[in-house]
Structure 1
């Protein structure tokens, strides 16, 4: 028998909690007050959270609190008291993205369980094992892994593994998406995703609009449904199965919980043949009707770029019924694609994306017809059974044409049935409570009750024992043992107002006592009350906000010492000023003398020669698929620069060949972009620097990453300038690198938009390496163009068309101790590369004014120059919540 897997459900409201618990969830997750990573959901109060945790725990369900966002420095310093109060509410675990936050929670309460969020972009066993040292108990893997890759990760770590099995799929790797931030001023890493990927885009190939595709919604993925993969995931040993949807309805939560609970129970009990999960149409029907953009197994079966993105719509469409074949006055005949018959009152959507036509109506009635042929030449001869949809006369069916797609996207009847599963007490799934009643004449009655712990909560059995106040007296008449047991079962089984139902009952009453029903009822009430209190008991937790503050102070002191040492090494006279430095939190004056270190990142070998003779220090190679590194590396060194190689942004099982190439060529340094690569390269002897994709946003994250062997780290692009300088107050600025010029990466995706829109290929090599043959630009809804690029593993990055310049911050950065600066090229020709780099190096070296350099840099850009997120000081407000 397979080990039971945890079914983890989303909660955004109290009703969603009831829907999940009463339909069979093993665990639920919801947002931390004021730190909810789903900005549009209800923000619970402390009292709400306490009640929700107790409600779930009393029913054997675990509660996880999601705080899976990046935390900025000023916030981190203010968190110890807040976190100690949240931990005191006794959640089973926290879901965390930020490394610094995870460390702070561990400092405040070493016993607190923490899970590494999918926002940490963990896609290999090496990455999972690296963060294990922080104290994580579980890793939530990236959604882009196939089942085989999940198996490879699981076999390489002893940490618990959690994977997503149902709900929305993001087109970008979670934690690596800056689309909302760049296009809408709202950070996905701060729980404010604007779903920019769901908007329509136009494609330009080699400068001309490409219209030979149906993919208007080029980046809008279908939804995930892993029901066909559950047995395989169980065999792999995945501990937790997670459902996305804190913004969905409680009815949706009920439907998904019911379907997956039933499937998992059948797998666990081995009651079905392989591939047969015992699910009926009534289990599967609501999964599409209530909310669906079309269901797919996502990446679990590997890449299929044609299947992953429909391209013709991005919103909820529901269950696909078929295509229109005939229209009458108030009836529409549709090819019957599904066996599920729509119900009166259901919402029916008719759509033809080619002509941007979309209309719908409520259904009057539906039936399967076997002979819809009405006249010669109507094109229906030889067709099988059709679905006839009848509407009221107020619906103008003349607007409906043949071959329109038909969807069932709403069902009040279905929702009403699902709602009963968590509002009707008689339908509630309850925990079995076992009882033993004992006693004898001249003694009190004793009632023992106990709950076996759920399989996923072993070691947490709960029990209670109570005695009656009355002493049992001899009955005047003979007592039938069977009648006494029947009475006990009736009175002790009256548990309808509780989360329990009577399991086994043993009656051991000696002699022939008189047992009043009222005594049994009182015993039951007392025992159940005691059992409920026992169920809420929690393990001992050593919670200390003071320890959290001490942890942060230790980090600040460590960086202060390091900053002084660094300053003294760069300026011998700095030691004479050390007494003054002791009272300062910033060491900018000391660092002014340090010569800036300038690195240029190039994305094709032709750009290297353009750097000859320029006043730079390092060149970083970040080449496309199939481009060799050995000759360019030697060329860079011959030009007098240090040569660096950038790792890929993602590290998955079976992708060590690129890292082996780095180890083989032994560049002067490596730019590390993910935790898996950091784990592999940290002991290689190659100097390492960390990129923005590591999402360092606070001093506690910085310290840990530096301790893993990084010499410098680029901060997360979620920080604006105020947050950046807050950070620099508490770290050594000489260990921070900042890119002064780059095309911002909007998202980084396993999905290939080149293959989806320009070919019929499902994956490489079916695509014919189309990405190497054309330059593709994407036009957004604002009329701005962006560049689409692929990397060495065929992953796509959409780069914002207007590059970001941080030159305006140069004086303040220098006085904050920063002396490592980067310039990133994209697809510029060599002449343009040289002009750009020259402008920036002259400004960095102080040979031209910052203002003149910015003006000149803007002239060089095809679509202008942007200041980007660094200069965005606004705070996004959810207007719906503010109303």
Structure 2
């Protein structure tokens, strides 16, 4: 771990969420060093209240006044026709003095750098940065910091920091996405509400049945197979600080101001305790208060390594609050329970019968009784009591012995939390150093320094000092008058008096000078930082002329996930085979088949790149494929570095996959300039957005995926390990994935296959195939030269049939609509147009 002495308090930042003004005030009042917030467009919390762009100057003046930094979330993909609006928002951020923008889209990073060379950019967790190499890939673009993936553990975090040497931001509290951020396409697939666009529909919080080899596995009351508990790393703060984390991020722009006040105050205390040398653990009361504000159960997530059994509990998908115990007996107007946490009148309860898909009984506590006598105040844990509920709130006939009881709200706690920010007093004050100088016949000169900010103002009296007949000015009088700073942002910390002789000036003049100094220092705190801003043309980097039309032409490629599919595909006229196998040991057989058939072969990298995983990519290079389909920036950096360090050797063609999230022409340009030979657009684009991008882009090196099972979730959470083994991770799970095939059956009976990669990460694929056949002619006319068909579980006959349909469509022998009809006929579950028609 990092040397404690090397870590300075001023290097550590507590970063809080704000979905509205009350949340922002709550964060500032409870000790946040920085706030992240969004405006009405271009942020990953479209459902939050959000702020308006015109409020930016007011927001930043408020935050800077209190010495708090403000980061604007710009953490979504930006579509082609939105680039002008994005440019307008970036320029507004620069003018308002926003301290940084948090960005997902690398094309947006490129545009920001065209506008300003020094405006701070933070790489969002949506960039899927999980390795030192991924950090290195961002360095040419001048990112100030990166937000690591929530799947990185403490050892990996430290390794990334030591190797990449860029400030790291890490989530420490709040909701966990089961999918890697930036790699979830479920909402996009099912409802056209992309998580990469801030419109997540939370499909991970829905119930699923586990199907194993096509048979439903009995799971008891476990139905929420993809719904993680909430992250709570309060007790890991010392380890995180010593691992090199500089910014501790709290999730929750959709949460209440009480939640923000609660969580920020707890983590503020934990950080301050560390630097005070206090090694005590968080108290039971602190943890319960955190649970009370919001909790689906707490977990360390992946910070201490992968433990699949601890990540997902599976019996409920929403906040429960504090566990109170189980129902021992149901009486006429009450239930009997042995309390496992304190309880009082007015608290809210819910009774958990183990099936949250059905209506649950719950309401306010009317009274607490012991042996028939009313109990006043808060009853501590350990007491066996009667909890009286209102008959209009709760139908006790639907409450059963053994039901779990949860305290879902605590009005007294909420009132206390609101009092921290619903106040007329300043949320925090700053030390002033004041020097007083003067002599008889000259004005009194005062020098006021805002110690934290380092700004200084000089205020002189409007009259000369006179000789004092009695009670001359001295430290006591000056401290009393100049220290009357109540109601302001300041407190008098140091007073230096350098007066020549016994002199005097009216107290009213001292008061005026104090007010003048405070007003000036106030304004200086609100001054925005100044950044370079240049006039930039959004389309200066777009090609000057449209791409040549390729109607009737173009090449067809096939991505195969079994050796049977490879053997079938090499017998067709596809231009290249992609081998996307679960285990690297399966690659040599695919290469042998392709070499014998004279077909080029591309090997496919995993979606995620973690520290220490370059051995996988070295093995790919040893196999000497014709191309590599690269799925993340960490792996891309590795292959580009190999090219640069071995210039005389033959290197595979590098093709960037959909997971690089290319949604506009600028992102295409950035990756091509970085060294990618071919680029695959994101699956987030509908047909209009795709056409808009293709019209502005150099399409000569683009490959579109025209047919696939959409990869919806990509997750570190292993369904096989969690629910099909007794183990906790790959070291002790017994590898059920090598013997069985799992799928998740949704509420309408569709079974979505779950596949494992070399790193034991799971991908959940949509049950229904998606086809863009009807748009094939449009893409050809826009100059796209290459089209990929991706297979999942298809047999050899299906592979040949599907490829022949697309080849016929590309050559104009059948229409895209006819392809669609035939696919629909040969597929048991039909076929979908997916996100293209959203």
Change (3 A) 1:676 1:626: closer
> Does the alignment pair 1:115 with 2:73?
no
CA apart distance, 1:354: 5.0
2:491 paired residue among 488, 498, 501:
501
TM-score w.r.t. the length of structure 2 is 0.93
Match of 1:537 in 2: 527
**2:81 counterpart of 1:74:** yes
Question: Which whole-Å CA distance do the structure 2 matches of 1:367 and 1:511 have between them?
Answer: 75
| Alignment partner of 1:401 is 2:397 | no
State how far apart, in whole Å, the 1-side matches of 2:485 and 2:723 are.
59
Find the counterpart in structure 2 of residue 578 from structure 1. none
- Residue 516 of structure 1: CA displacement? 2.8
The yes-or-no answer on 1:792 pairing with 2:753 is no
Which residue number corresponds to residue 346 of structure 1?
347
Other structure's SS at 2:496 match: strand
Tell me whether 1:358 sits opposite 2:375 in the alignment: no
Structure 1 residues 159 and 845: CA distance shift in structure 2, 3 A = same
Of stretches 244-253 and 629-638 in structure 1, the one that deviates more from structure 2 is 629-638
> Which of 828, 835, 838 is the aligned partner of 1:869?
835
Distance of 1:430 and 1:367 partners within structure 2: 46
SS in 2 for 1:768: coil
CA offset at residue 637 of structure 1? 1.6
Q: Classify 1:284/1:184 alpha carbon distance in 2 versus 1 (closer, same or farther; 3 Å).
A: same
Deviates more, 1:117-126 or 1:776-785: 776-785
Using the alignment, how far apart are the partners of 2:85 and 2:471 within structure 1?
72
Equivalent residues of 1:785, 1:801 under 8 A apart? yes
Which whole-Å deviations, capped at 9, do the CAs of 1:536-577 have from their partners, x for residues lacking one? 334432212x2x21xx44311xx34xxxxxxxxxxxxxxxxx
* Paired residues of 1:438 and 1:446 also in contact (CA < 8 A): yes
Aligned to 1:521: 511
CA contact (8 A) 1:789 1:797 kept: yes
> Any idea what SS the aligned residue of 2:49 has?
coil
Match status 1:391 vs 2:388: yes
- Quote the Cα distance in structure 1 between the aligned partners of 2:189 and 2:576: 28
Map of 1:475 onto structure 2:
468
Of stretches 89-98 and 514-523 in structure 1, the one that deviates more from structure 2 is 514-523
Query: More displaced, 793-802 or 329-338?
Result: 329-338
1:852 aligns with 2:838: no
Judge conservation of contact 2:28–2:427 (CA < 8 Å) in 1.
no
Q: CA offsets, 1:143-165, max 9 Å, x none?
A: 11111111111111121111111
Is the 2:368–2:388 contact (alpha carbons within 8 Å) kept by the matching residues of 1? no
Please provide the CA RMSD for this pair.
2.2
Conservation of the 8 A alpha-carbon contact between 1:604 and 1:624:
no
Q: Tell me what 2:15 maps to.
A: 8
| Count, aligned residues | 812
Corresponding position of 2:410: 411
In 2, the alpha carbon distance for the partners of 1:442 and 1:282 equals 63
Pairwise CA distance, 1:335: 4.4
**What is residue 464 of structure 1 aligned with on the other side?**
457
Is the CA contact 1:331–1:388 (under 8 Å) kept in the aligned structure 2?
Answer: no
Q: Decide whether aligned partners of structure 1 residues 321 and 429 sit closer, same or farther in structure 2, where only a CA change above 3 A counts.
A: farther
Instruction: Say whether the 8 Å CA contact 2:555–2:786 is kept in structure 1.
Output: yes
- Output the CA distance in 2 between the equivalents of 1:44 and 1:386: 47
Match of 2:316 in 1: 313
Superposed counterparts of 1:43-58, under 5 Å? 43-58=50-65
Task: Say if 2:707 and 2:788, in contact at 8 Å, map to a contact too.
Answer: yes
Task: Identify the residue that residue 579 of structure 1 maps to in structure 2.
Answer: none
Q: Does 1:185 align with 2:165?
A: no
Distance 1:417 1:367 in 2: 26
| Mean Cα deviation higher: 384-393 or 211-220 | 384-393
**What secondary structure, in the 3-state scheme, does the structure 1 residue paired with 2:164 have?**
coil
Residue 301 of structure 1 is matched in structure 2 by 304
Post-superposition shift, 1:255?
0.7
Aligned residue among 718, 730, 740 for 1:752: 718
Checking the alignment, whether the CA contact within 8 Å between 1:647 and 1:672 is kept in structure 2 is: yes
Report what 1:567 is aligned to: none
Q: Distance in 1 between matches of 2:477 and 2:329?
A: 65
Residue equivalent to 1:372: none
Q: Give secondary structure in 2 for the equivalent of 1:203.
A: strand
* Of 489, 507, 510, the match for 2:479: 489
Distance 1:669 1:349 in 2: 57
1:48: Cα distance to partner? Answer: 1.9
1:268 and 2:275 aligned: yes
Helix, strand or coil at the partner of 2:696: coil
Match of 1:238 in 2: 245
Cα offset, 1:492, TM superposition: 2.4
1:690 to 633, 653, 656: 656
Q: In the superposition, relative to structure 1, how do residues 367 and 750 fare at CA in structure 2: closer, same or farther (>3 Å)?
A: farther
Tell me the secondary structure at the aligned position of residue 420 of structure 2. Answer: helix
Q: 1:387 to 1:488 in 2, by over 3 A?
A: farther
Q: Give 1:778 deviation, angstroms.
A: 1.9
Q: Answer whether contact 2:19 2:254 (CA < 8 A) is retained.
A: yes
Distance 2:779 2:439 in 1: 84
Q: How many angstroms does 1:117 deviate by?
A: 0.4
> Deviation digits for residues 168-220 of structure 1, max 9, x if unmatched?
10011110111111122211111111112111222222222222343311111
- Aligned match for 1:673, one of 618, 631, 639: 631
- Of the candidates 661, 669, 681, which is equivalent to residue 703 of structure 1? 669
Instruction: Say which of 777, 786, 789 aligns to 1:820.
Output: 786
Q: Note the C-alpha offset of 1:526.
A: 0.6
CA contact (8 A) 1:464 1:534 kept: no
1:645 to 596, 603, 617: 603
The question of whether the paired residues in 2 share the 8 Å contact of 1:366 and 1:387 is answered with no
Tell me the distance in 2 between the aligned counterparts of 1:205 and 1:368: 50
Matches within 5 A, 1:17-56: 17-56=24-63
Q: Please give the alpha-carbon distance, in whole angstroms, between the structure 1 residues aligned to 2:284 and 2:436.
A: 44
Is residue 693 of structure 2 the alignment partner of residue 727 of structure 1? Answer: yes
Q: How far off its partner does 1:470 sit?
A: 1.9
Instruction: Provide the C-alpha distance between the structure 1 equivalents of 2:515 and 2:152, rounded to a whole number of angstroms.
Output: 50
- Partners of 2:359 and 2:727 in 1: CA distance: 28
Q: Which residue of 594, 611, 615 corresponds with 1:636?
A: 594
Whole-angstrom CA distance in 1 between matches of 2:735 and 2:221: 21
Cα shift at 1:41: 1.7
Which deviations, in whole Å up to 9, do the C-alpha atoms of 1:379-437 show, x marking residues without a partner? Answer: xxxxx934535224635545432322121111111000011111234583322223233
Q: 1:437 to 1:689 in 2, by over 3 A?
A: same
Match of 1:323 in 2: 326
State the shift of 1:804 in Å. Answer: 0.7
Match of 1:512 in 2: 502
CA distance in 2, matches of 1:238, 1:190: 27
Note the C-alpha offset of 1:365: 5.0
Structure 1 range deviating more: 438-447 or 748-757: 438-447
Structure 2 segments unaligned to the other structure (5+ residues): 372-380, 644-650
How far apart, in 2, do the equivalents of 1:228 and 1:258 lie?
Answer: 14
Q: Secondary structure of 1:409's match?
A: strand
